Structure 1
Amino acid sequence: MTESVPADAQPTEPTGWLALPDVAERLEVSISKVHQMIRDRELLAVRRDGVRVVPAELVANQTVRKHLPGILTLLHDAGYSDEAALRWLYLPDETLPGTPADALGDHRAREVKRRAQATGF
């Protein structure tokens, strides 16, 4: 984390959640392909109320955010669980500004990737 993030900062919630069948429909792939994407860390899914869901903004149009798979791999290699990776992606950081998840959709994505690399050291 950067120095600008207070120790007691709380992550924001994603704008919405997609159930896995909805992700499959949006990406125009089979549900088994969505499960494979989750296993391969191309997509992040967590359990909410007993159902695996994906933050809606991580599925842009008919694709997954471009840098998301690389960031998820970096975070996993640094020892982050899926829940911890979700928290990292949605923790406000005024130096971005916003959250790393917000930044994945624009020119700040490379900075998010750099910060994810730094978590392993």
Structure 2
Amino acid sequence: MLGVSVSRVHRLVEEHVLLATKVGGVTKVPAVFVVDGEPMHELRGTATVLADNGFTDDEAIDWMLSVEESLGTSPVDALRAGRKAEVRRVAQSLL
């Protein structure tokens, strides 16, 4: 989907540009985090906030894809709808 090498994807994950999880020993990035062949731009800052709050990548992915009551939708859908500041405020409040 990204048209880059596996090592580049691993670097993007290390830099919190993307979030990934291991499934059967294989690193996978949820497709919803890729928009028009590029990592979703709004994801990086949110992933960093979550990491700073002690979330593992697996926990961050779960949070991003689950409905967050205070947002009324999943955080990833809220990011796609242009609600980046709101999503990050909610993420910062998670401890």
Could you say whether these structures have the same fold, taking a TM-score greater than 0.5 normalized by the shorter chain as the test?
A: yes
Question: Match for 2:77 among 102, 105, 108?
Answer: 102
Structure 1 residues 53 and 87, CA gap change in structure 2 (3 angstroms): same
Letter in 2 for 1:56: A
**Are residues 1:113 and 2:88 paired?**
yes
Question: Match for 2:45 among 43, 46, 70?
Answer: 70
Instruction: Count residues in correspondence.
Output: 95
Question: Max radius of gyration: which structure?
Answer: 1
Structure 1 residue 44, shift from structure 2 partner: 0.5
CA RMSD of aligned residues (A): 1.5
TM-score of the two chains, using structure 1 as the length reference: 0.70
Helix, strand or coil: the match of 2:80?
coil
Structure holding more helix per residue: 2
Give CA deviations for 1:58-96 in whole Å, capped at 9, x if unaligned: 111121112101111111111011111111112212442
- Give 5+ residue unaligned stretches, structure 2: none
**Are residues 1:35 and 2:19 paired?**
no
Segments of 4+ in structure 1 off by > 3 A? none
**Are residues 1:57 and 2:32 paired?**
yes
Higher relative contact order (CA 8 A, sep 6+): 1
Identity %: 38
State whether residues 67 and 113 of structure 1, in contact with CA within 8 Å, keep that contact through their aligned partners in structure 2.
no
- Give 5+ residue unaligned stretches, structure 1: 1-25
Give me the whole-angstrom Cα distance separating, in 1, the residues matched to 2:37 and 2:72: 26
State whether residues 96 and 108 of structure 1, in contact with CA within 8 Å, keep that contact through their aligned partners in structure 2.
no
Give CA deviations for 1:27-49 in whole Å, capped at 9, x if unaligned: 23222211110111111110112
